[in-house]
């Protein structure tokens, strides 16, 4: 019996219970996956109780991805490099902290884009946990140059130091650079842009981290990836689509990181067919959540 769940705050709209319940059922495995809304002060007690009750594993989401790290007895290399834990596995009397966000991002990138990364210049907007996962993924894929657009200068220094460790770990030649937030769109010849901020997320549907003219300065054939998946078609992506740029929404990463967590907990690999079924399932759930409720 796989006793699974997610801890975070708030969790009312989390898609993870739907995702994992579908995978459990399709793989005919006995188990459950529940959402546990937990404040930071109750994290240690919640993890101890979940373990006592026979818990197998947990996902960790905003705002606890860093706060759970000291509660882990071991950390995977990716969790250490990204500096965040999104997957907890209970084994040998302690919690093992792992991170599947970088892998989720890597696996959600189309193969043609991955092939071009060693000659590409990519901009990441944001300096939070998701930005660090994207940075680790791009460095591991030997991207030629990664620029970071950050709002807070103190976070910029931290993330650059972490990026140096990632380069060493992945033996990657990636060149790194920083740009001020206001200058994010003034970079010509970018081959790809990743929004790793919540800008454009519902209810702020009219907001975008790059405006129309800034998008126009991207290379012909550039791609734009928005980690936000609520809505699926953010302002950033609809603007980019209308300019003929390739766009990628955040749902693929959400699915891939979830499936990777499930594989770590269960020890089984999830067939590609089941992973593919998750896309329409979660898209319908997002559309249903976005509809104004009757009455």
What are the catalytic residues? 65
Q: Which is nearer to ligand NAP, 223 or 229 (CB)?
A: 229
Question: What whole-number distance in Å separates Cα of residue 68 and Cα of residue 57?
Answer: 13
Smaller CB distance to ligand NAP: residue 89 or 127? Answer: 127
Separation of alpha carbons 65 and 128, rounded Å: 11
With respect to ligand NAP, which residue has the nearer C-beta, 107 or 191?
A: 107
Closest alpha carbon to 58 in 71, 73, 70, 47? 47
Q: Which residue is nearest to ligand NAP (CB)?
A: 128
CA distance 59 to 34: 10
CB 54 to ligand NAP: min, Å? 28
- Nearest in space to 106 (alpha carbons), one of 142, 74, 69: 142
Q: How far is the CB of 227 from ligand NAP (least distance, A)?
A: 4
Which DSSP string do the residues of 15-64 spell out, in sequence order? SHHHHHHHHHHHTT--EEEEEEE--GGGHHHHHHHHHHTT--EEEE-TT-
Kindly provide the b/e burial profile for residues 137-151, where b requires at least 16 CB atoms within 10 angstroms of the residue's own CB.
Answer: bbbbbbbbbbbbbbe
CB of 102 to ligand NAP, least distance (A): 10
Residue 294 CB, shortest distance to ligand NAP, in Å, is: 27
Measured CA angle at 119 (ends 135, 276), to 5 deg: 60
Contact positions vs ligand NAP (CB under 6 A): 62, 101, 104, 126-131, 151-152, 155, 196-199, 201, 227-229, 250, 253-254, 257
Residue 57 or residue 209: which is nearer to ligand NAP going by CB? 209
């Amino acid at each position: 019996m796989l006793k699974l769940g997610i801890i975070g705050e708030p969790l009312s709209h989390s898609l993870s219970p739907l995702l994992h319940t579908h995978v459990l059922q399709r793989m005919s495995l006995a188990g459950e996956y529940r959402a546990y809304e937990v404040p930071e002060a109750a994290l240690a007690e919640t993890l101890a109780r979940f373990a006592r009750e026979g818990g197998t594993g947990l996902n960790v989401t905003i705002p606890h991805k860093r706060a759970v790290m000291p509660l882990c007895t071991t950390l995977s290399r990716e969790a250490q490099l990204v500096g965040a834990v999104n997957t907890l596995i209970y084994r040998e009397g302690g919690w093992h902290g792992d991170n599947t966000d970088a892998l989720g991002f890597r696996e959600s990138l189309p193969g043609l884009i991955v092939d071009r990364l060693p000659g590409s210049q990519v901009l990441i907007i944001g300096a939070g946990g998701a930005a660090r996962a994207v940075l680790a993924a791009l460095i591991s894929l030997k991207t030629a140059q990664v620029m970071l657009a950050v709002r807070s200068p103190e976070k910029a220094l931290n993330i650059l130091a972490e990026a140096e460790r990632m380069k060493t770990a992945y033996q990657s030649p990636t060149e790194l650079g920083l740009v001020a937030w206001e200058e994010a769109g003034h970079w010509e010849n970018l081959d790809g842009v990743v929004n790793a901020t919540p800008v454009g997320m519902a209810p702020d549907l009219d907001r975008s981290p790059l405006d129309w003219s800034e998008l126009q300065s991207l290379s012909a054939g550039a791609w734009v990836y928005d980690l936000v998946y609520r809505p699926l078609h953010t302002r950033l992506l609809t603007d980019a689509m209308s300019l003929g740029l390739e766009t990628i929404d955040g749902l693929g990463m959400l699915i891939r990181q979830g499936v990777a967590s499930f594989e770590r907990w269960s020890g089984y690999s999830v067939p590609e067919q089941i992973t593919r079924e998750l896309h329409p399932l979660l898209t319908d759930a997002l559309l249903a959540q976005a509809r104004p409720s009757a009455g």
